[in-house]
A and B are shown apart, each in its own frame.
Chain A
Amino acid sequence: MNTDPDVVWELFAGHYFMFAFLASLGVLQVAVSNVGTRGLWLTPHAGMTRWLGIAFVLTGIAVFFLQPLWVDGPWAAGSVEADSLTRSWGKASWSELAGARNVNDIHGGLDGIKQAMWFSLGAIAAFAVSAVVGTLSVNIFASAENSGDGDQTDSEANGLAGLESRSYIENLPGSFANFRADIGGVWRSGLVKADRWSLMNVLFGRGGSSE
């Protein structure tokens, strides 16, 4: 490689994060539009949200693999070979585009651990964007939705179930309160039901088994 691997790594990390963000946002939109989790929809309509999601996934893939055409990197036209050792810095050509991203991690490509880290950040960012835009969408279009369907809000529902009828901001306090109220019981009943070799049982004993 004719370039410092750290420079290549930084470039790959930024591109991969954007890829993970767009693709995660797309998959999230397809999933939540299928199950009716309106609080995370980017648009007020399920069909539109689903198609938007598919568009995000395709955009993420296309941008990541086409980027070498307009961004300088270790894929200069004429230098892309299977081995990433002798690459030069520059823009890729169409004919070498398919192999442009095949850079060994010792030459600045992303190994599995770095990919897992950047994917997690991208997925969290996608969820956060969906929650914020979904909150705006639910609040702006709430009156129009409710006028036709009546108020179907289930005040007991929390977590993703609560997001079927509420925005993320409205749902969060109730969900967290439920978590705080339930977690003790979940833990005790979990210990009772857990395998006798459960590490938690070994550490904490069958504290709830007397019931």
Chain B
Amino acid sequence: MNSIDANIVIWLNALSGNVKLFDDLIRVVASDYLMPMVFSLAMFGLWFSGKNPAERVRYQLTMLVGISALSISNVVVWLFNIIWDRPRPFVEHGDQLNLLFYPPTDPSFPANPVAVGFATATAAWTINRKFGWWMFAAAAVYGCSRLYAGVFYPSDIIGGAIVGVAVYGFTSYLRRFLEPLITGFVRLIRGLSAA
């Protein structure tokens, strides 16, 4: 399993260095700022996108669950990191990789940015299938860019995706334990004319 993982990241990373423009694009996509901003903006935009009061409330409650899932995924990834301190690909195969991104110091499994992206995408998917698929694609591209850059193994990406989707499901379930506090919070924001 480990050798398949390593072979894929080494093969994919070996494609770098040929087309500078493509490598530069990967550097921007893989950055800590572009895709997380896309995920945050998706949540923010959907908050205002309901076409009638009932749809608006549904969107907004889902967005709150999505934002909570995003935070909880970070905690779940951190717990995984405590259990398994998996070294990054550039640590184990540094001589065979052309690192395109700064070397992160946290463990490799599961991919934190992918978990966050998939948690957000799942939230978007539950209220708008088409938009949700686009978000899943964005999260997958984000993961693949980090793979290409040599900072994650494929299994880290798959693990991150599973964590993101599972945490969203768990957070949706968790919501019932906090009702009617969450609905009351949305009503408060509506009282401030922002929901």
Chain A residues within 8 Å of B, Cβ to Cβ: 16, 19-20, 23-24, 27-28, 30-32, 34-35, 37, 39-40, 57, 61, 64-65, 82-84, 95, 97-99, 101-107, 109-110, 112, 115-116, 119, 123, 127, 131, 158-163, 168, 171-172, 175-176, 178-180, 182-183, 186-187, 189-191, 193-195, 197-200
Given contacts A23-B41, A35-B49, A35-B50, contact A172 B33 (CB under 8 A): no
Bitwise interface map of B from 60 to 85 toward A, beta carbon under 8 Å scored 1, else 0: 00000000000000100000000000
Q: Which of A20, A119, A131, A186 contacts B183 (CB 8 A)?
A: A186
Q: Do A180 and B178 touch (CB < 8 A)?
A: no
Q: How far apart are B147's CB and chain A's nearest CB, in angstroms? A: 15
Q: Which of B1-9, B99-107, B161-169 contacts A (4 or more CB under 8 A)?
A: B99-107
Q: Which of B20, B104, B177, B191 contacts A197 (CB 8 A)?
A: B177
Chain B residues near A109: list those with CB within 8 A.
32
Chain B residues near A171: list those with CB within 8 A.
193
Within 8 Å of chain A (Cβ to Cβ): is B51? yes
**Bound-complex Cα distance A119 to B32 (A):** 13
Chain B residues near A83: list those with CB within 8 A.
99, 102-103
**Bound-complex Cα distance A178 to B174 (A):** 28
Chain B residues near A16: list those with CB within 8 A.
33
Bitwise interface map of B from 16 to 32 toward A, beta carbon under 8 Å scored 1, else 0: 00001001110110111
Q: Do A159 and B193 touch (CB < 8 A)?
A: yes
Q: How far apart are B41's CB and chain A's nearest CB, in angstroms? A: 5
**Bound-complex Cα distance A119 to B23 (A):** 27
Chain A residues near B25: list those with CB within 8 A.
98
Q: Do B178 and A200 touch (CB < 8 A)?
A: yes
Q: Do B177 and A198 touch (CB < 8 A)?
A: yes
- Top 6 A-B residue pairs of the complex, sorted by shortest distance between their CB atoms: A190-B180, A179-B191, A159-B190, A98-B24, A31-B48, A98-B27
Within 8 Å of chain A (Cβ to Cβ): is B34? yes
Q: Do B191 and A176 touch (CB < 8 A)?
A: yes
A selection of 11 A-B contacts at a CB cut-off of 8 Å is A28-B44, A28-B45, A35-B48, A82-B100, A82-B101, A102-B102, A182-B187, A189-B180, A190-B179, A197-B177, A199-B177
